[in-house]
Structure 1
Amino acid sequence: MTKMFTYQEDGLAYTVTLYEDPDNPGTFLADITVNEGAMDVNAIYFGDDDFSGDSAGLKGPLNMNGAQLHGQHMQWDTAVQLSSPGLGPEGEEKETYVSNGETLTIELNINSLDEIDVFGIRATSTTTESGSIKAVSDQPEEPEEPEDDPAYDKVGFGVAIGENGGIENGVFVREDDLPEGQEGTFANYVNYYQEQYGDDPEFAISQLESVVVYDVSFEVDENGDILEIPNELFRVDAPEEGFQDADALIAAYEETIDSAAPEEAEEPDGADLLAALSLETNFEADAFPNDDMLEDEYEMI
């Protein structure tokens, strides 16, 4: 396990890497590596993300007075002096002077890396405009992994919607109808429909009144036949001027999904989202047409 902190301003950039010494378990080290410029590291400060209680500090030129993180004044758990300000007779050969490409390794008096969430460096003889820094860094938040788009069993593209809400004329596409290897995401359904029917003036995306999304369950009747039972999850109704193209339809779908997400939920999962959507519109299976309700030249898929 490691922790990494970075800092950058004009003339200076460095990285601090914290880790347990692989050759000496229980010993924790900090590698301070300068990536641009140079500095004389006179003191280090660190602590956890609980800023309550008294703050550790060093007096005189090694203090970190006024240092802030995201607008909050710092409360440090530990402050350690490494050297006095000034290069002195050693000049750039001073042990705590670190220039571009060099690393200063420091042993930390801690029992776990969990003790450090914020790392500070008090340095002089820096290549910054002011010549010194009171630098504070925390770990950047890990980027959230994008959620996978939900997959649906079946989507109906309705050119005409009946009074009962069912599709009277249109095309149904099942996940199995999509090209091999494609999941039943809404975008994949729309792209498939566009490829198959986009050039037809009657069934073009611009002619759709509504697009209905279903999940499908199956039952066996008394004769042993398998019956498909579609359940509407939600629908995306066309605006008054219709969907201009596939991108507009997908955008309308995303707006529908976003508007259905609970406002205060941390991250609704797919099942919760679909449940929320289906509360709005939920029609019985017999509200949808049979194959012979479509025009003769279009067989329901």
Structure 2
Amino acid sequence: MSDHSKVFNYEIEGLSYTVTVYEEAGAFYADIQMTEGSMDVNAIYFGDDDSSGPSASLDGPLNMNGAKLDGENVQWDEAVALSDPGLGTEGSDKETYLTDGDTLTVSLDIDSLDEIDIFGIRATSATNDAGSIKGVSDDPEDPEDPEEASYEKVFFGEVFSDEGDPLGGTFILDEEPDPNPYSIPSLPEGTEPTFENYVNYFVSDEIGGEVSSLTSVVFYETDDDGDLSEVFRLDAPDGGFQDVDELLTAYDEATDGSSLTDESSESSDGQDLLAALTVDGSADTEVDAGEDFEEDDLEIV
């Protein structure tokens, strides 16, 4: 889902839902997700905060007559019919019938999210006392940005043994240990240990790493025993990473779960399954796996 989105909430006794309108690849959609109860979504209505002009409406049981916002009638710019009232022979399998946890995605014929400041749903077979709703929501919420994953150690690897052990490359720690007998590089003081910050430091003049030389990037976090252990690794594609942008794109895809593999950890935590980064492969720092290196130092969906 695109970062450009608006979220509308609606809640009454026995029924609640969330509508997220967003842009993706130049098209616009609304995700209607039930959070409590159930309903058959028969039509959607939406408009901007300019109440001038005629109001869009649908005939018969799909109308929103009488629906009000702050005691005033609503001027709708668009009305879209989705289904006729009644579950019919399909029953609960009807595409527009949503129960707790279900999501219905609807395509929107708009050119900008600015066209939607008010969102309405006409639904029947609902679990509120009236058995139907003419739901109106405004003041859309801006979704919170998801917290970026952080890592305690990252290995920008160029050479690995046949068993996958790091042989040549650059370890970077989130904080410099005291003492630091192996002079392992660490992020500058006060730097958040996020993927992007590790990458920026790796390719900086301080480290001099080259993305094109990377074979794989390995991420480490503290396990349940308090030891730093490998969580996952991101392998470079055939021909290697061409530049930082390609690396960042690979990481973004991995965080969506599309290309992630975890060969060393059984953890199911979402943070543990975020993926790797890439940087230049001309780093000068070589790590010998044989050294005594302590890991703990380092349409309905």
TM-score (norm 2): 0.45
| Greater C-alpha radius of gyration | 1
Q: Relative contact order (C-alpha < 8 Å, sep 6+): which is higher?
A: 2
| Greater helix share, structure number | 1
